[in-house]
Amino acid sequence: MKILVVEDEPKTGNYLKQGLLEAGFVVDLARDGEDGMHCALTEAYDLVILDVMLPGIDGWSVLRGIRKSGKDMPVLFLTARDHVDDRVRGLELGADDYLVKPFAFSELLARVRSLLRRGGKATESEFLRAADLELDLMRRRVNRSGKRIDLTAKEFALLELLLRRQGEVLPRSLIASQVWDMNFDSDTNVIEVAIRRLRAKMDDGFEPKLIRTVRGMGYVLEVTACA
């Protein structure tokens, strides 16, 4: 899941980015409205966190630009405590939710997850499943055969991606951009290492094996009787 944060205050911006990264999201940070608008219109995001008071193009205009372009990803507005009118205006312009600064990160995270569950995919289940493996998107938990499996944030994001695109062979370059937000560098074995760790946790000791390496192509998660 990829999130765009548009925030000009470096401290708040970095704090949001770091927290969301640790929660397993891929995060882009734009430091002003112009940059934010550019990112929002050219990249694909699952959600935008948008500060109202921005230098240059303000949050209102960014939001208007996003909606005008036909993009309907959820937008969470950040507004100052003494500008209550802001939130009315924001909701009128097509924001999905707002949060008054200062806020607790846990509150932000709860709103983000709630918006992602609603966000244009109202019917999306809160669980992803394959055979006896179950990933709980809301509680960020994974079970296999009813046994709890502890994953790091990256492993969780990796498994979520594989489950969402079950049966599809995912090239390393795609995994790198979706989970690590990096361009694929063939010298790095970060994906191989992460896949190995993930398998050790959710495939070793279980049947059937779910993650398969497709030589020269990438990885696929699928339920097959004769893998």
Interacting residues with Ca ion (CB under 5 A): 8, 51, 53
| DSSP at 122 | T
Instruction: Tell me the closest approach of the beta carbon of residue 121 to Ca ion, in angstroms.
Output: 30
Strands of 75-80's sheet, edge to edge? 26-30, 2-6, 47-51, 75-80, 97-101
Q: Which is nearer to Ca ion, 28 or 86 (CB)?
A: 86
CA 118 to chain centre: 14
Instruction: Tell me the closest approach of the beta carbon of residue 16 to Ca ion, in angstroms.
Output: 12
Q: Which is nearer to Ca ion, 50 or 162 (CB)?
A: 50
Tell me how far apart the alpha carbons of residues 28 and 181 are, in angstroms, rounded to a whole number: 9
The pairing of beta strand 97-101 with beta strand 127-130:
unpaired
Strand pairing partners for 47? Answer: 3
Copy the structure tokens of residue 115.
């918006």
Q: Which is nearer to Ca ion, 49 or 115 (CB)?
A: 49
Instruction: Tell me the closest approach of the beta carbon of residue 40 to Ca ion, in angstroms.
Output: 16
Instruction: Tell me the closest approach of the beta carbon of residue 7 to Ca ion, in angstroms.
Output: 6
Instruction: Tell me the closest approach of the beta carbon of residue 49 to Ca ion, in angstroms.
Output: 12
Please say whether the beta carbons of 191 and 176 come within 8 A: yes
